[in-house]
């Protein structure tokens, strides 16, 4: 596994623990096309990497990931076929995380929003700094929560709560997220690195095959749910890219104003 071959990511090793860092700190690790493509293959490569037993996923700088890049959104508005290609990658990202037998630990060092929340929540274990916020505000930019939110949130916190957060785009603090079972642990920021490293080392010292096959067994049922939801939600998100409300939302972001939605 060539750890230097992933644009937008930086990969480092500590023994049999591989840390994958979303590495566009000046953009709060929002995913552009290069990063998105890298994420779409890195977990499959981790699955095949004989030197890796545990994966830590985190963000560079003060954010985990702000989600999608607004400039990239405009490119998809101008050329919707581009988004259709990204939709294929989005499904590959989700299923490569579920199919990777190596445990994936999300170290949410800062806000995880939209696509960033999806990456965190499809990880196997989530540790977050207390100050971090997590949420899926796709609807606030006229998008369907298609890249995984509609699939994973109901499985973690139930349909009623999931609908509330997905319909409103409300962000939760890590402490609130821990209380409702959305994530595993919320910790003071100064304790985050140590807690994640300790947990990763515990897994790395365990019976690797037993842990890996247990993950794959648990994910059999989850994959059965996620497959049809992802097919539908990504199709609906592709349609939402073509709406006037989405155009208005992206224009409002660029112009630093509130959008005026018209339901079309």
Nearest-angstrom CA–CA distance, 103 and 57: 10
11 beta partners: 20
Q: Look up residue 177 and give its two tokens.
A: 């997220």
Nearest to 99 by CA among 58, 45, 153: 45
Rounded to two decimals, the pTM is 0.96
pLDDT of 84: 86
Nearest-angstrom CA–CA distance, 154 and 172: 15
Whole-angstrom CA distances from 161 to 43, 134, 147 are 29, 14, 19
Can you point out the beta strands (E) in the chain? 9-14, 17-22, 54-59, 104-108, 112-113, 125-129, 133-135, 172-173, 185-187
Dihedral sign, Cα of residue 134, residue 135, residue 138, residue 139 = negative
Nearest to 90 by CA among 82, 52, 156: 82
CATH superfamily of 1-190+207-264: 2-enoyl-CoA Hydratase; Chain A, domain 1 (3.90.226.10)
**51 class by beta-carbon count within 10 Å (0-12 exposed, 13-18 middle, 19+ buried):** exposed
Nearest to 67 by CA among 75, 76, 59, 55: 59
127 beta partners: 107, 185
Per-residue pLDDT tens, the chain, 264 aa: give them.
888 899 999 999 999 999 999 999 999 999 998 999 999 999 999 999 999 999 999 999 999 999 877 788 888 888 888 888 889 999 999 999 999 999 999 999 999 999 999 999 999 999 999 999 999 999 999 999 999 999 999 999 999 999 999 999 999 999 999 999 999 999 999 999 999 999 999 999 999 999 999 999 999 999 999 999 999 999 999 999 999 999 999 999 889 999 999 999
Three-class SS state of 207: coil
Strand (E) or helix (H) holding 231: helix 208-241
pLDDT of 82: 86
């Amino acid at each position: 596994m060539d750890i230097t071959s992933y644009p937008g990511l930086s990969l480092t090793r500590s023994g049999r623990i591989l840390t994958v860092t979303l590495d566009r700190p000046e953009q709060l690790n929002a995913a552009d096309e290069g990063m998105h493509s890298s994420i779409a293959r890195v977990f499959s490569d981790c699955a095949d990497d004989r030197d890796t037993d545990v994966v830590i996923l985190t963000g560079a700088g003060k954010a985990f990931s702000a989600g999608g890049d607004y400039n990239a959104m405009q490119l998809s508005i101008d050329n919707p076929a581009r988004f259709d290609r990204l939709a294929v990658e989005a499904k590959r990202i989700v299923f490569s995380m579920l199919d990777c037998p190596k445990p994936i630990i999300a170290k949410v060092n800062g806000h995880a929003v939209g696509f960033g929340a999806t990456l965190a929540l499809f990880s196997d274990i989530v540790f977050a700094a207390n100050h971090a916020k997590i949420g899926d505000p796709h609807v606030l930019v006229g998008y369907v929560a298609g890249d995984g939110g509609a699939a994973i949130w109901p499985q973690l916190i139930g349909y009623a709560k999931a609908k509330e957060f997905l319909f409103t785009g409300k962000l939760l603090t890590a402490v609130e997220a821990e209380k409702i079972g959305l994530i595993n642990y919320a910790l003071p920021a100064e304790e985050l690195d140590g807690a994640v490293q300790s947990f990763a080392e515990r897994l790395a010292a365990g019976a690797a095959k037993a842990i890996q096959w247990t993950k794959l067994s648990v994910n059999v049922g989850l994959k059965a749910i996620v497959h049809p939801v992802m097919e539908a939600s990504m199709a609906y998100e592709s349609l939402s890219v073509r709406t006037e409300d989405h155009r208005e939302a992206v224009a409002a972001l660029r112009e630093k104003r509130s959008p005026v939605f018209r339901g079309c």
